Structure 1
Amino acid sequence: MFKQLIGIAALALSFTAAAQQPPTVVDLPTRPGVTQRMLVTTPPEPKATVILLAGGHGGLQLFQNGSFKWGEGNFLVRSRQLFADKGLMAVVVDAPSDRLRAPFLNGFRQTEEHAADLKATIAWARATAKVPVWLVGTSRGTQSAAYAATVLQGADAPDGVVLTATILADDKQRPVPAMPLEHIKVPVLVVHHQQDGCSYCAYSEIPTLMAKLTHTPRSHLITATGGKNQGDACAAFAHHGFNGLEADVVGQMADWILAPAR
């Protein structure tokens, strides 16, 4: 009986160790001579993978030890463990090795090179966890996710897209509703805070975005309310970044992502 209890305890410890496996840093070759660094948080039995695309200039400057020079507070970056807790492998993507200085991803998010980097990331994620792969962007990261989904087709396409705090207006580059969204042939989830005060992300423009998603197999809007609103209206700890609502918002996102597999 004592030996049996020891065996059970050892098994429990092995499961705990698996659950607490530390995040890993991966340098992925994407284009000739170019690599892309990623921080990967893997639950014991992933049900899907989410490739997390931060906003702003996107230059996280991820160190080999898993820390960030910039962007640690970004909604998706700070919520990475919440995704893993829901059974989703969370892949936080840095700028590629040829964009590690200012302006980082500014002016780069809607380019063939950026799409090629994300194509390689999707392929790597599929081969690694062998589960569906979703692109998830927030703020300017939605321009990356939406653009990639319009140009990557067939086996290269993600299995779905999530747009949080979407860029709905922009005087510097195409906002998401101005993209050819009819080319997206995978499910799209839109998550937006009703009180988002960022001038690029007015909730009143959400109907325009949703009307452009009629060619997708399914689309859905999750509207967030409440929480905390601190600092710049376009920054990570304002309503724009779902401050104080992280667990609830990530939970709803995970439920929708995993719903087809149930």
Structure 2
Amino acid sequence: MNRYLIHALLFAAALLGTAQAQSNKVIDVATRSGITERILLNAPPQPRAVVLLFNGSNGQVEIKDNGELGAGRGNFLLRTRTLWNARGLASVVVAPPSDHNEEPFLADFRDTPEHAADVQALISQLRQQFHVPVWLVGTSRGSLSAAAVASRLAPPAGPDGIVLTSSILYDKQQRTVTALPLDALQVPVLLVHHKRDACRQSNPADVPALLSQIATAPRSEVMYIDGGQSQGDPCDSYAYHGFNGTESLVIDKIADWILRQDKK
């Protein structure tokens, strides 16, 4: 039997019973030849969409065999992963692939054909199992993953849409979202930013310029968030940059926007 068909069947077996709620289901998915990518699935009964969640910073995510998270668990998207379920969306935490699961993790990998190939394999298999739209949601440097993959993978191979939260827009040393070929995006794009984000690399004043770069996308919008509290370094997960204290509000607004696109 074809090796890739075997992997698809194993993935399907891991997702048997999709009509029932699935919480903290750990699955190792074969992506490129000889490479696997570990994901953590939380799904409500009959989800209306799936969101793949990309951590910020260097992308390190530790998914333990029992479904608990180690490194990276404080990240905005990782700590809110189950909130999507109440809105009818399945969430998928994406760990680095097996060939990038140590330093520097995804730091030099997010905008590569290999990263796009890994994510495309996840998108394909999740669509086959759930038969619903699959979106990419990135936060901070994770937005680079979501935007880079979507700019490389046109529909129908790529995602149905992307959400970029607290995007890194300025960095003298590393690539940012604004350096990508964003005119290649062919899916809806939502930008989410906190009005008081004090991280120098994600200044709210730079968001309109990013919006102008994605003007060719079928639909695009900026969503500004206010409120909450900021703790520690302004670029950390519990600052305004990580939507500390507004998590439920942010997830609700993003979920509403995603589900509206499915009706258009």
* TM-score for the superposition, normalised by structure 1: 0.91
Question: SS at the partner of 2:156?
Answer: helix
Who is 1:194 aligned against?
195
1:230 is the counterpart of 2:231:
yes
CA distance in 2, matches of 1:252, 1:63: 30
Contact 2:20 2:46 in 1 (8 A): no
Contact 2:24 2:68 in 1 (8 A): no
Contact 2:231 2:238 in 1 (8 A): yes
Who is 2:61 aligned against?
60
Who is 1:13 aligned against?
none
| Alpha-carbon offset, residue 208 of structure 1 | 0.4
Within a 5 Å distance, the mapping from 1:238-257 to structure 2 comes to 238-257=239-258
- Between Structure 1 and Structure 2, whose CA radius of gyration is higher? 1
Question: SS at the partner of 2:145?
Answer: helix
The worse-fitting range, judged by mean Cα deviation, of 59-68 and 212-221 is 59-68
| Identical residues among aligned pairs (%) | 47
CA distance in 2, matches of 1:109, 1:245: 27
Question: SS at the partner of 1:166?
Answer: coil
Who is 1:70 aligned against?
71
| Alpha-carbon offset, residue 177 of structure 1 | 1.5
Who is 2:113 aligned against?
112
Within a 5 Å distance, the mapping from 1:74-153 to structure 2 comes to 74-153=75-154
CA distance in 1, matches of 2:29, 2:43: 17
**RMSD of equivalent CA atoms:** 1.2
| Alpha-carbon offset, residue 260 of structure 1 | 2.9
In the alignment, residue 228 of structure 2 is paired with which amino acid?
A: G
How many pairs are equivalent? 245
Within a 5 Å distance, the mapping from 1:182-221 to structure 2 comes to 182-221=183-222
CA distance in 2, matches of 1:127, 1:153: 18
Superposed CA offset, 1:81-107 (max 9, x none):
111111001000000111111111111
CA distance in 1, matches of 2:159, 2:262: 16
In the alignment, residue 257 of structure 2 is paired with which amino acid?
A: W
Superposed CA offset, 1:89-127 (max 9, x none):
100000011111111111111111111111111112111
Who is 1:31 aligned against?
32
CA distance in 1, matches of 2:190, 2:126: 20
CA distance in 1, matches of 2:114, 2:190: 25
Structure 2 residues without counterparts, runs of 5 or longer: 1-18
In the alignment, residue 67 of structure 2 is paired with which amino acid?
A: G
The worse-fitting range, judged by mean Cα deviation, of 176-185 and 166-175 is 166-175
CA distance in 2, matches of 1:156, 1:261: 17
CA distance in 2, matches of 1:62, 1:143: 21
* TM-score for the superposition, normalised by structure 2: 0.90
CA distance in 1, matches of 2:32, 2:251: 32
Structure 1 residues without counterparts, runs of 5 or longer: 1-16
CA distance in 1, matches of 2:187, 2:99: 30
In the alignment, residue 256 of structure 1 is paired with which amino acid?
A: W
